[in-house]
Amino acid sequence: MTEECRNCLECSHDNGCVRCPERLFLFLQRNGMSHHGTCLHVCPAGHYGQRGKDVNRCMKCRSLDCEHCFSRDFCTKCKAGFHLYMGKCVTRCPEGTFTHQTDCLEDCLQAAVGEWSDWSACLRNGVSCGFRWGKQTRTRGIRPSVTTPEEKSASFCPSDSETQRCRMRKTCPNSEMDGETRKNKKRGLGKKRDRKRLRLQTFRAVVAEPEQ
Strand partners, 161: 139
Instruction: Write down the pLDDT at residue 203.
Output: 61
* Closest C-alpha to 80, from 96, 101, 98: 101
Domain 1-60 and domain 110-171, same fold? Reply is no
Strand partners, 190: none
Query: Checking DSSP bridges between strand 57-60 and strand 47-50, what pairing results, if any?
Result: antiparallel
Instruction: Write down the pLDDT at residue 46.
Output: 92
160 Rama sector, left if φ>0, alpha if ψ -120 to 50, beta otherwise: alpha
CA-CA-CA-CA dihedral for 101, 104, 107, 108, to nearest 10: -40
Instruction: Write down the pLDDT at residue 171.
Output: 83
Instruction: Write down the pLDDT at residue 26.
Output: 92
Q: Which CATH class is domain 66-106?
A: mainly beta
Instruction: Write down the pLDDT at residue 209.
Output: 58
Instruction: Write down the pLDDT at residue 68.
Output: 93
Measured CA distances, 119 to 53, 113, 162 (Å): 43, 17, 9
Tell me which amino acid residue 106 is: E
Structural domain boundaries of the chain?
1-60, 66-106, 110-171
Q: Does domain 1-60 match CATH 2.170.130.30?
A: no
pLDDT lower than 70: segments of the chain: 1-4, 107-113, 142-160, 174-192, 194, 201-212
Q: Which CATH class is domain 110-171?
A: mainly beta
